Amino acid sequence: MSSTELQQLAADIEAGRSPTVWFTDAAVGIDQGRSGKLIEIADPTEPDHLRVKPAGSSDTLAFSPTELTLTKPARRRTTHQRHHTSAETASLFDL
């Protein structure tokens, strides 16, 4: 995460917003691509100074800028979606 992005996030928090961030593969204990809300930016001299509440959790955890991104990952297709062809989908509507 760049210093410009961190400045924008700090401005968002100051304005009372909790911006959405996504976890990178560098995040320990959190799946890559999972989202969370940035709650606070603590003392930047601390390595893990970004306080994030992961989606589905009531805990606020500390992360470094390398563990987070503002880029929303592409949606993963499920196995169910991959096995249907357009012909199969079309036949469902022809019933």
- Among 59-63, 72-76, 84-88, 89-93, name the most confident range: 59-63
Can you give the length of the chain in residues? 95
CA 2/CA 61 separation, integer angstroms: 20
Residue 80 in tokens: 């169910």
Distance CA 95, CA 90 (A): 9
Q: What domains lie within the chain, and their CATH numbers?
A: 3-93 (2.30.30)
Instruction: Note the pLDDT tens digit of each residue in 32-71.
Output: 999 999 999 999 899 999 999 999 999 999 999 999 999 9
DSSP 71: S
